[in-house]
């Protein structure tokens, strides 16, 4: 008879001594102390989501769960570091075996251990975006694709296209139809490149960021024994920002959980704003159905905003149909000040109001770093950037480069700079390098031909650029596009005279640059909007020399904003797109351009796309809930277009989603009734 022997677990470390009831509000405590199982925590904006997750981990460790049985999945390394550091501060237990990180970092750790099962070695390379583009360029070259007649998508666009396929589970045809219909005729060749790219990654023992997730899912599905290994290890899985998970991430979570492991998914359906990146909001909405018997906890106490702002945000999001019911409640007392609704004459007046109000608030004791200007799209910040620069108000931009420093703005300016200054080699080379088949060597050769012509040193503009340039020898691949360039230059200087700046921009965009945008950039529509905004700005100028001088003055060479350099380095107003502002907060928020067609986006209104309109409304909700004390909702009543006439603006339909009593309407007048140029 076999001898019986019992293993005894070592004495657990002393409990942390945390008074969970005192440390958490009742809503947070209910979620944190819930028994094992499947649970969804709907944590509203500013409700202490990170605190809830952190204390949940501490609760598990305090109740005998080994740290190696806990997996914490986040969307940023910063979030993972902050949570694990807080846990270490809270509990005396050893947390070194706790796995916490982004989906991609956790995927990488798993793949390193099992790469051989998928045809790779453990020493595989992870391609960054530049590596990915280089590999794709090599594949394209081998595919021998004829691009003489039409532009083939650049490697950057292909990388984004292939990423959507991996992260949404859609086919190439579906992705092209939904996002890239201008490449429909290239579908067969794009599929050829995709197959070559997949083969090349295997050949070079390399994976891209999407593979870090897709290959883990494939591994789990093809190797049940490997899946069981990780299911047995991770008995408690916690997921941050669950509303942002895509189909691959959702599948990875489902597989790891299995039928018996505990899962706590924390998120806010009202802040689901990334469908364009593949995020699937249905994951959070369908959670109770997919996980039968799961519990749903709602955390509604907000520690960020005053009641007036929260009342407005609750009313605004209520207009959406697909959502969990919740109402944010303020923990702060009411100051008695309602959000301001400010209608302004035009975009320049809107910018002047924002800048003047900032200076007034600063005088009242609110530092500039506690103020932000939020907008739907980066181009909407143009007038704001100009006004802040003129008034010497320092600012930092989180939504991208300063308007005039962006590559596509500089590309457009290169055409104009060259026709004005025919000795501008930098602008000529930048302009010519945009053409397919014209690399640096060909561009330099064309520049030499231009210098030999003698026209570069003449004061007058060539009567007709095409008569001169069409004689130049260009690579066969570039012939058609070179001809287009020649005729566009003719349009910029009709009869040897300079066209107006706005007319020049229109000719460049419609004649040649729009095609380049579509082939070169994933976000080409946003960049086109930037250029249209530049054209509108150009409508203020008759003289091209004055316009180009302003462009140069508005660009900062050192990356620092103009203005009073004696200001503390960190005292800067923040300019940000709403997408970039998610998770941040300021005392004062100016939400600008609340006009139908601008916010919500015009393409969504034209398509009559209800799901996307509801996502736009969630974006509006996210913007509102960034404000702690003061909120200004502004819109221009007129939008002066440079080549299509003035447009009367319709206030955003989102402003109709709440009672007018919730806001205070401001009427902004001009202090000088004789001035038509200065709004104040």
What pairs with residue 635 in β-bridges? 343
For residues 381 and 375, is the Cβ–Cβ distance under 8 A?
yes
Of the candidates 57, 47, 67, the residue with the CA atom closest to the CA atom of residue 20: 57
Of the candidates 397, 350, 377, 354, the residue with the CA atom closest to the CA atom of residue 554: 397
Q: Which two tokens stand for residue 313?
A: 């945000």
Residue 624 has phi, psi (to 5 degrees) of -60, -45
* DSSP letter string, 651-680: BPGGGGSS-GGGSEEEE---S-TT-SS---
Of the candidates 376, 349, 373, the residue with the CA atom closest to the CA atom of residue 361: 373
Q: Which two tokens stand for residue 146?
A: 């004829």
* DSSP letter string, 339-376: PEEEEESSHHHHHHHHHHHHHHHHHTT--GGGEEEEES
Q: What distance lies between CA 38 and its chain's CA centroid?
A: 31
Give the span between the Cα atoms of 120 and 114, in whole angstroms: 9
For residues 33 and 59, is the Cβ–Cβ distance under 8 A?
yes
Give the span between the Cα atoms of 665 and 516, in whole angstroms: 44
Q: Which two tokens stand for residue 357?
A: 């109000």
Q: Is 49 a catalytic residue?
A: yes
Give the span between the Cα atoms of 90 and 87, in whole angstroms: 5
What pairs with residue 632 in β-bridges? 340, 590
Geometric angle at alpha carbon 670, from 666 and 672, rounded to 5°: 160
Question: Which one of 84, 249, 271, 380 is the catalytic residue?
Answer: 271
Residue 510 has phi, psi (to 5 degrees) of -75, -30
For residues 97 and 68, is the Cβ–Cβ distance under 8 A?
yes
Cis peptide before 651 (omega within 30 of 0): no
For residues 154 and 193, is the Cβ–Cβ distance under 8 A?
no
Over the range 34-51, which residues count as b (16 or more CB within 10 Å of their CB) and which as e? beeebbbbbbbbbbbbbb
Residue 411 has, within 13 A of its CA and on its CB side, a CA count of 19
Give the span between the Cα atoms of 343 and 638, in whole angstroms: 10
For residues 227 and 259, is the Cβ–Cβ distance under 8 A?
no
Give the span between the Cα atoms of 644 and 275, in whole angstroms: 32
Q: Is 626 a catalytic residue?
A: yes
Q: What is the DSSP letter of 353?
A: H
Give the span between the Cα atoms of 88 and 122, in whole angstroms: 31
Question: Which one of 49, 235, 326, 518 is the catalytic residue?
Answer: 49
Q: Give the H/E segment covering residue 263.
A: strand 262-267
Residue 408 vs residues 508, 533, 642: alpha-carbon distances, Å:
12, 12, 19
Question: Which one of 166, 210, 240, 615 is the catalytic residue?
Answer: 240
Question: Which one of 326, 402, 528, 626 is the catalytic residue?
Answer: 626
Q: Is 240 a catalytic residue?
A: yes
Q: Which two tokens stand for residue 400?
A: 């991208």
What pairs with residue 597 in β-bridges? 601
> How many other β-carbons are positioned within 10 Å of the β-carbon of residue 356?
16
Question: Which one of 62, 241, 532, 630 is the catalytic residue?
Answer: 241
Q: Is 376 a catalytic residue?
A: no
Q: State the catalytic residues.
A: 49-50, 240-241, 271, 626
């Amino acid at each position: 008879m076999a001898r019986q022997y019992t293993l005894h677990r070592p004495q657990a470390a002393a409990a942390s001594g945390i008074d969970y009831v005192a440390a958490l509000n009742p809503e947070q405590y209910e979620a944190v102390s819930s028994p094992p199982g499947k649970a969804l925590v709907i944590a509203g904006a500013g409700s202490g989501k990170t605190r809830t997750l952190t204390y949940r981990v501490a609760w598990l460790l305090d109740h005998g769960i080994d740290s190696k049985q806990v997996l914490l999945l986040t969307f940023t390394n910063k979030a993972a570091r902050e949570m694990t550091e807080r846990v270490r501060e809270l509990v005396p237990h050893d947390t070194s075996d706790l796995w916490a990180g982004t989906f991609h970092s956790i995927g990488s750790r798993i793949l390193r251990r099992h790469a051989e099962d998928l045809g790779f070695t453990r020493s595989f390379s992870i391609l960054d975006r530049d590596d990915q583009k280089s590999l794709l360029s090599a594949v394209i070259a081998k595919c021998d694709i004829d691009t003489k007649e039409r532009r083939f998508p650049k490697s950057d666009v292909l990388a984004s296209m292939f990423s959507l396929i991996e992260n949404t589970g859609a086919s190439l045809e579906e992705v092209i139809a939904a996002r890239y219909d201008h490449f429909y005729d290239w579908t067969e060749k794009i599929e050829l490149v995709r197959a070559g790219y997949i083969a090349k990654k295997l050949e070079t023992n390399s994976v891209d960021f999407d593979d870090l997730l897709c290959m883990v899912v494939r591994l789990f599905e093809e190797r049940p024994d490997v899946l069981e290994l990780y299911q047995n290890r991770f008995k408690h899985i916690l997921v941050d920002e669950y509303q942002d998970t895509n189909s691959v991430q959702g599948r990875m979570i489902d597989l790891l959980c299995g039928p018996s492991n505990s899962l706590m998914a924390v998120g806010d359906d009202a802040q689901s704003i990334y469908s364009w990146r593949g995020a699937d909001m249905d994951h959070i909405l369908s959670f109770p159905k997919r996980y039968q018997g799961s519990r749903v906890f709602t955390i509604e106490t907000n520690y960020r905003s005053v009641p007036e702002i929260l009342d407005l945000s609750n009313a605004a999001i209520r207009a959406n149909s697909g959502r969990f019911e919740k109402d944010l409640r303020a923990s702060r007392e009411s100051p008695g000040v309602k959000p301001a609704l400010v209608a302004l004459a035009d975009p320049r007046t809107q910018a002047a109001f924002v800048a003047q109000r900032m200076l007034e608030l600063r005088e009242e004791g609110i530092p500039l770093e506690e103020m932000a200007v939020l907008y739907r799209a980066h181009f909407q910040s143009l007038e704001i950037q100009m006004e802040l620069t003129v008034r010497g108000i320092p600012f930092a931009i989180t939504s991208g480069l300063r308007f005039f420093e962006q590559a596509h703005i500089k590309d457009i300016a290169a055409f104009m700079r060259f026709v004005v200054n025919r000795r501008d080699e930098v602008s000529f080379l930048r302009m010519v390098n945009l053409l397919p088949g014209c690399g640096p060597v060909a561009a330099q050769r064309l520049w030499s031909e231009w210098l030999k012509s003698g026209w570069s040193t003449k004061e007058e503009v060539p009567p007709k650029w095409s008569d001169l340039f069409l004689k130049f020898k260009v690579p066969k691949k570039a012939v058609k596009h070179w001809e287009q360039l020649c005729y566009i230059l003719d349009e910029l200087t009709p009869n040897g005279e300079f066209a107006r700046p706005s007319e020049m921009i229109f000719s460049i965009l419609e004649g040649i640059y729009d095609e380049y945008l579509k082939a070169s950039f994933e976000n080409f529509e946003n960049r086109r909007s930037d250029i249209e905004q530049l054209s509108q700005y150009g409508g203020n100028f008759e003289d091209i020399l004055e316009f180009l001088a302003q462009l140069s003055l508005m660009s900062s060479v050192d990356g620092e904003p103009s203005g009073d350099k004696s200001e503390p380095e960190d005292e800067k107003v923040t300019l940000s797109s709403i997408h970039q502002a998610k998770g941040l907060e300021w005392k004062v928020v100016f939400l600008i351009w609340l006009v139908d067609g601008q916010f919500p986006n015009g393409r969504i209104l034209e398509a009559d796309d209800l799901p996307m309109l509801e996502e736009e409304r969630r974006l509006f909700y996210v913007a509102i809930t960034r404000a702690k004390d003061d909120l200004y909702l502004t819109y221009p009543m007129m939008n002066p277009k440079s080549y299509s006439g003035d447009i009367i603006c319709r206030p955003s339909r989102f402003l109709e989603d709440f009672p007018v009593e919730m806001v205070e309407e401001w009427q902004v007048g001009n202090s000088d009734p004789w001035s038509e140029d200065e709004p104040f």
